[in-house]
Amino acid sequence: MHLRLTDEQKMVQKTIRRFVEKELIPLENDVLRNEREGKPSLSPGKLKELQLKAKEAGFWGINTPEEYGGADLGQMMMAIVLMEVSKTFVPFSFGGSADNILYYGNEEQKKKYLLPTINGVKKSCFAMTEPGAGSDTRNIKMSAVKDGSEWVLNGEKTFITGGNEADFVMAIAITDKDLHQSTQGREGVTCFIVDRDMGWKSEYIHTMGEWGPAGLVFENVLVSESNILGELHKGYNLGLEWIGFARWVVGARAVGAAERLLQMAIDYSKERITFGKPIAERQAIQWQIADSAVEIEAAKWLVLNAAFTLDNGEDNRHLASMAKLYGANMGNNVVDRVLQIHGGMGYTRELPIERWYREARLWRIYDGTDEIQRMIIARNLIKGHVKVGQYV
Ligand SMILES: Cc1cc2nc3c(=O)[nH]c(=O)nc-3n(C[C@H](O)[C@H](O)[C@H](O)COP(=O)(O)OP(=O)(O)OC[C@H]3O[C@@H](n4cnc5c(N)ncnc54)[C@H](O)[C@@H]3O)c2cc1C
């Protein structure tokens, strides 16, 4: 066991760090101004320009298999990259990737949907959640009924990330009510690829974050049989499986943000004088700094272990849930302490802490709430799927 990054990993970390410092952090004031004026955080043109610069530096399709033109650097490298890029709140993502679920498509679907998504020509979104079914995904109501060679989709989805911008959605709908009931929702649902011009509508949902997800409405939307992704009636596992393997990504984002925020708090505490001394000399402040540093390290190791385990070909879902649960809560604790250390200034819009504070709250909700992660972790242990202390 070697508990240090390899030279190659260190090089990638350093390159991304430079990219973040040189290209992204200088955009932070623009992003804050755009968002406060109700504009997109980054214009599509600016995002493309940044993605091209990153591509020139070799960062494109970081996790995309080589056969689709990607770099296929693996999960550990992805974790390192994500932790670095999350040190800014500028919402940048590297180009050349697609939702993993699209890799389950057949050759024709890969040509029509996967490759254009990887190449940035098309945007996708994934829609499971409905107004009556969030954590309890087996309670979805959206239906797909066969009519000749087509399926007729009716229902609503909600809180869909990217749903306002997407060219197509991968939507989960019930295709066999009886099978759905008799298998307690495990079967009888299917994933459909549905182009926007097939007729679904989206509406922006205002949240406490800066860019909203969408509500989607399907009214008699006709979808051909060839747009079924994966197997008929087996869409539930398809949807949940790839989410389960990738949940640690939320923890990685939290680690990056928390490291930057903690550094801001350390710097500020050395400058801010109260009662004749910098607040950094007060134990009350030091303990907040120490607790934050310990929690960040712990979250980082969970994230790296979840990523490493998947690279190693093992089922990482238990660790991914742990990294998501702990990382999301760590991020919320740290941003709250950092705001407290900044006093009244922390609460103003002069500093970006309040923005991070609002964003961090989402980490505990999407991709499965805190409570659902605890449920998964406890169930794995109680049922013996995972042994206590199994991973190291
Ligand atoms: C900004 C944003 C983006 C999102 N993006 C997407 C997306 O792209 N695609 C998509 O399909 N969904 C998306 N979601 C939906 C998200 O996954 C759900 O909001 C989340 O799973 C929780 O579901 P819910 O909101 O219906 O809460 P509910 O399931 O109604 O839960 C309410 C509360 O009860 C708790 N709870 C529920 N069941 C239990 C239980 N058995 N035991 C203990 N506590 C329980 C929950 O933890 C929560 O605290 C997004 C949500 C948001 C806010």
Q: Give 95's contacts (C-beta < 8 A, 6+ positions apart).
A: 51, 52, 54, 55, 60, 61, 120
Q: State in Å: Cα 240 to ligand 1 middle.
A: 14
Q: Are strands 189-195 and 228-229 parallel, antiparallel or unpaired?
A: antiparallel
Q: Are strands 168-174 and 124-127 parallel, antiparallel or unpaired?
A: parallel
DSSP 200: -
Domain 7-97 has CATH 3.40.50.300: no
Q: Please give the structure tokens belonging to residue 323.
A: 């990294």
Task: State the Cα–Cα distance between residues 223 and 228, nearest whole angstrom.
Answer: 9
**How much is the pLDDT for 273?**
98
Query: For the chain, which ranges sit under pLDDT 50?
Result: none
CB 325 less than 6 A from any atom of ligand 1: no
Architecture of domain 124-233: Beta Barrel (2.40)
162 — alpha (psi -120 to 50), left (phi > 0) or beta? left
- Residue identifier of the C-alpha nearest atom 38 of ligand 1: 135
**How much is the pLDDT for 366?**
95
- Whether the CB-CB separation of 350 and 226 falls below 8 Å is answered with no
Q: SS3 for 137-198, per residue?
A: HHHCCCEEEEECCEEEEEEEEEEECCCCCCCEEEEEEECCHHHHHHCCCCCCEEEEEEEHHH
- Whether the CB-CB separation of 220 and 194 falls below 8 Å is answered with no
CB 158 less than 6 A from any atom of ligand 1: no
Q: What is the DSSP code string of 233-295?
A: TBHHHHHHHHHHHHTHHHHHHHHHHHHHHHHHHHHHHHH-EETTEEGGGSHHHHHHHHHHHHH
239-382 CATH, one of 1.20.140.10, 1.10.10.60, 3.30.60.50, 1.20.1330.10: 1.20.140.10
Question: Cβ atoms within 10 A of the Cβ of 178, count?
Answer: 8
Q: Give 60's contacts (C-beta < 8 A, 6+ positions apart).
A: 51, 54, 70, 71, 94, 95, 96
Closest by Cα among 46, 57, 45, 62 to 96: 62
Q: Give 100's contacts (C-beta < 8 A, 6+ positions apart).
A: 242, 245, 246
Contacts from 262-266 at CB under 8 Å and sequence distance 24+?
262/289, 262/292, 262/293, 262/296, 262/334, 262/338, 264/338, 264/342, 264/353, 265/289, 265/292, 265/337, 265/338, 265/341, 265/342
CB 126 less than 6 A from any atom of ligand 1: yes
Q: State in Å: Cα 133 to ligand 1 middle.
A: 8
CB 161 less than 6 A from any atom of ligand 1: yes
- Residue identifier of the C-alpha nearest atom 23 of ligand 1: 134
pTM: 0.96
What atom in ligand 1 is closest to the CA of residue 371? 47
Q: State in Å: Cα 214 to ligand 1 middle.
A: 14
Q: What sign for the dihedral angle of Cα 351, 78, 169, 313?
A: negative
CB 376 less than 6 A from any atom of ligand 1: no
Q: What is the DSSP code string of 29-74?
A: HHHHHHHHTTS-SS-HHHHHHHHHHHHHTT-SSTTS-GGGT-----
- Residue identifier of the C-alpha nearest atom 2 of ligand 1: 159
Task: State the Cα–Cα distance between residues 125 and 159, nearest whole angstrom.
Answer: 11
Q: State in Å: Cα 250 to ligand 1 middle.
A: 15
Q: Give 176's contacts (C-beta < 8 A, 6+ positions apart).
A: 187, 188, 233
Sorted by where each begins, the domain ranges of the chain are 7-97, 124-233, 239-382
DSSP 360: H
Question: Cβ atoms within 10 A of the Cβ of 18, count?
Answer: 12
Task: State the Cα–Cα distance between residues 387 and 308, nearest whole angstrom.
Answer: 18
Q: State in Å: Cα 369 to ligand 1 middle.
A: 6
Q: What sign for the dihedral angle of Cα 174, 178, 184, 186?
A: negative
CB 363 less than 6 A from any atom of ligand 1: no
Q: State in Å: Cα 376 to ligand 1 middle.
A: 14
Q: Please give the structure tokens belonging to residue 392.
A: 């190291």
Q: Please give the structure tokens belonging to residue 379.
A: 């169930």
Question: CA separation (Å) from 132 to 234, 240, 342?
Answer: 21, 18, 40
Q: State in Å: Cα 51 to ligand 1 middle.
A: 31
CB 205 less than 6 A from any atom of ligand 1: no
